[in-house]
Amino acid sequence: MDLGSILLNGLAAFLTLSIFSILYKDNPFYKFAEHLVVGVSAGYFAIILYYSSFIPKVWVPVVQQHKFIYLVPTILGVLMWTRFSRKRSWMSRYPIAAYMGIGMGVAIPVTMQAFILVPLYATMQPMGFTSLSLFNNLLVAVGVLCALVYFFFSKEHTGAFGGAATIGIWILMVGFGAGFGLTVMGRVSLLIERFTFLRDYFQQLIGLL
């Protein structure tokens, strides 16, 4: 390990410990790491965006390939800068409108497909009481129905309807509990990774002395 990488890994180890120090309480080390990473990451993101999007989507098509159809979105993009002026900032509504229109239009059918029809089709399974898998299919369908009842907004949750809604929220909670329980393992793995990094670094450091 050369001096450069000792120092750089030392910086990484120092920043790791600085972030962990927030567990005790807010302190100058955490503040330092926090403010540093905000600046570095914002600069990183902007530069990467410039090279990965501005160059291939604006510079190359307009300036190099003379695809002037790309001038339209470029002008829209420039209109965003009218926001620097209070008086002209209303002109930024045009790019925002284009952004929203395209975004919402794309989202509508895709959401219908992925969030509604796919799970609906997947739940349409043969059901019955003769085998465990048939019975489980039945339970899944009943569970979906009850949980949907919970999401009803325009009807009071009373009587049998309320009963179904209560079962519905219970089923949702089982799902959330399962999600919580399953996640612990992944999070602990991340902590193991950090601890191993620190251990290895300090072992190397001690080895050098």
Partner 1 sequence: MKNKFVFRNKVLLIFFLTLPFLLLGLNTSSAQEAGEVKALVDSSAQAPASPTDVVAKDAPNDNGHAIVVMWKPSADDGAGKNNVLSYEILRSDNSDTGFVVRGMVPAGTNQYLDRGAREKEDKNYFPSHKNFYYKIRAKSDVSFSESKVSAPAYAFGQWFHTGKTSIFLATAIFTFFVLLFINMAKKGKELYVRPIAGIDAVDEAIGRATEMGRPILYILGLGSAGDLATIASLTILSRVAKKVAEYQTSLLVPVADPVVLTVAQESVKAGYYDAGRPDAYKEDSVWYITSMQFAYVSAVNGLMLRERTATNLYLGAFYAESLLLAETGNIAGSIQISGTDQVAQIPFFIAATDYTLIGEELYAASAYLGREPLLLGAIKAQDWGKILIMISLLLGALAATLHFDFFVNLFRIKL
Partner 2 sequence: MRWQYPLLIVFLGGLFMAVQYFVPLEFSERIYEYALDWIIIVGVFTMCLGLWSLFRVSLAKIQTKAPAWGYNYITLAGLFAMLILGPAFGIEEGKPFMTLFWYIYTPIQASMFALLAFYIASAAYRAFRARTMIATILLVTATIIMLRLIPLGFLSGPNQWAVNWILTVPNMAAKRAIAMGIGLGGIATALKVVLGIERSYMGKD
Partner 3 sequence: MGFYERLMTLDRRWVYLAMALSVAIPLFISFQVPPYITPEVKSVYDFVESLKQGDRLLLAIDYDPMGMAELHPMALTISRQCFAKGVKLFFVTLSQNAPGMCEQLVSKVSKEFNKKNGVDFVYLGYKPYPGLVILSMGQNFRISFPMDYYGTYVDSMPIMQGIRNYDDMKAVIAFESGWVADSWIADANGRYKISVGLGVTGVMAADYFPYVQSKQIFGLIGGLKGAAEYETLAKAKERSASRGMKVQTVTHAVVILFIIVGNIGFFMSKKRKGKTE
CB of 85 to partner 1, least distance (A): 12
Q: In whole angstroms, what is the distance from residue 18 CA to residue 107 CA? A: 41
Using CB under 8 A, which of 106, 115, 199, 202 touches partner 3? Answer: 199
CB of 100 to partner 2, least distance (A): 5
Q: In whole angstroms, what is the distance from residue 34 CA to residue 26 CA? A: 11
Using CB under 8 A, which of 130, 154, 158, 189 touches partner 3? Answer: 189
Q: Which two tokens stand for residue 175?
A: 């799902």
Q: In whole angstroms, what is the distance from residue 22 CA to residue 59 CA? A: 44
User: Does 169 interact with partner 2 (rule: CB under 8 A)?
Assistant: yes
Q: In whole angstroms, what is the distance from residue 172 CA to residue 184 CA? A: 19
Residue 61 exposure: Cα atoms within 13 Å on the Cβ side: 13
Per-residue x/- mask for partner 2, residues 127 to 166, rule CB under 8 A? Answer: ---------x--xxxxxx--xx-xx---------------
Site for partner 2 in 67-86 (CB under 8 A): 69-70, 72-74, 76-78, 80-81, 83-84
CB of 73 to partner 3, least distance (A): 35
Q: In whole angstroms, what is the distance from residue 173 CA to residue 131 CA? A: 27
Binding partner selected for residue 207 from partner 1, partner 2, partner 3, none, CB under the kind-specific 5 to 8 Å limit: none
Site for partner 2 in 21-60 (CB under 8 A): 22-23, 31-51, 53-54, 57-58
Q: In whole angstroms, what is the distance from residue 83 CA to residue 72 CA? A: 19
Centroid of chain to Cα 65: 35
Binding partner selected for residue 24 from partner 3, partner 2, partner 1, none, CB under the kind-specific 5 to 8 Å limit: partner 3
